[in-house]
Amino acid sequence: MGNEKTRVGIIGASGYGGIQLVRLLLEHPQVELTYLAGHSSAGKPYSDLYPHLTHRVNLTIEPIDLEAIADRCDAVFLGLPNGLACDMAPALLAKGCKVLDLSADYRFRNLNTYTEWYKKDRQDQTTNNQAVYGLPELYRDAIKDAQLIGCPGCYPTASLLALSPLLKQGFIVPETAIIDAKSGTSGGGREAKVNMLLAEAEGSLGAYGVAKHRHTPEIEQIASDLAGTELQVQFTPHLIPMVRGILATVYATLRDPGLVRDDLITIYSAFYRASPFVKILPHGVYPQTKWAWGTNLCYIGIEVDPRTGRVIVLSAIDNLVKGQAGQAVQCLNLMMGWEESLGLPQLAFYP
């Protein structure tokens, strides 16, 4: 290969996930952005959608032509609404492209679960069987060998990074886990929606998808994997009037009420010692979303309440970076055999 850069395309480049990918890939030393594809915006210069990139990106959004994309790209990110990637990925894979899907289409081992929650029948079980869940902190080795990645949702990323050490090592009574999470409005995408209007969202905080949010089965699948037993998790998301960030507060009952906070900080630090993007905070320090803004980091704070016998884990990420595009680039780095943190920001623009 020599010094040739890897040619990368984005299908569905017009949304917030797409623009994060464009920003990260433009600054990535091993990548050349060769194809931006879209449906409704095809034919427009990309800088018409995002004028702040006029001086950096002179690509036009092209129609979604899988033949052309496969010819011009070594790896393709799919930033499409749920239910579209599964119609495109098989053709791209057959032509030798690596595929990283940011939608929910390849996050589920059992396609019946997908159909139940996303209301689309699937015929691509063979393709789905080769998909790897793109959470590097848990599945790093499998990602390295994968051709198809189902990139996790933003809430599952924050929640699972908080819960994984506890589940994997049996420190909690699994069915007692409760996840209370808040997300900024960019998680709702760029399309106009009444509840996302400034006049509706500003100064207001509310829950949504209570007891039925689509990220629940995704969290449960990986949590069950870690715990070695089928389990259900209580998950409630909230919309908070800011642009970026997720804070997940996770509660669970400890099996051993004698465990203290410092024990758990040691356990978490060991669990994530090979994970450059997970930062375990010292005792008494709890994460804030602003710390993770614009970065691929996940900050984790841990507390034990000896009165109730519960552990409380707080996890903060940028929903568009570690919760979406940054994590996808982290997966690409692993698939290509590059340094895992290559091209990924590790310092917030603060304050």
Q: What is the DSSP string of 260-321?
A: -HHHHHHHHHHHTTT-TTEEEPPTT----HHHHTTSS-EEEEEEEETTTTEEEEEEEE-TTI
Which class for 176: exposed (0-12), middle (13-18), buried (19 or more C-beta within 10 A)? middle
What Å distances lie between residue 318 and 154, 184, 212, CA to CA? 8, 9, 23
The upper half-sphere exposure of residue 32, i.e. CA atoms within 13 Å in the direction of its Cβ, equals: 9
Write the single-letter amino acid at 47. S
Neighbours of 229 (CB within 10 A): 11
Of residues 97, 154, 298, 331, which has the active-site annotation?
Answer: 154
Which class for 327: exposed (0-12), middle (13-18), buried (19 or more C-beta within 10 A)? buried
Asked if residues 189 and 154 have their Cβ atoms less than 8 Å apart, the reply is no
The upper half-sphere exposure of residue 26, i.e. CA atoms within 13 Å in the direction of its Cβ, equals: 13
Asked if residues 280 and 272 have their Cβ atoms less than 8 Å apart, the reply is yes
d(CA 77, CA 97): 10
- The H or E element spanning position 206 is strand 206-207
Give catalytic status of residue 331 as yes or no. no
Specify the length of the chain in residues: 351
Q: Which residues are catalytic?
A: 154
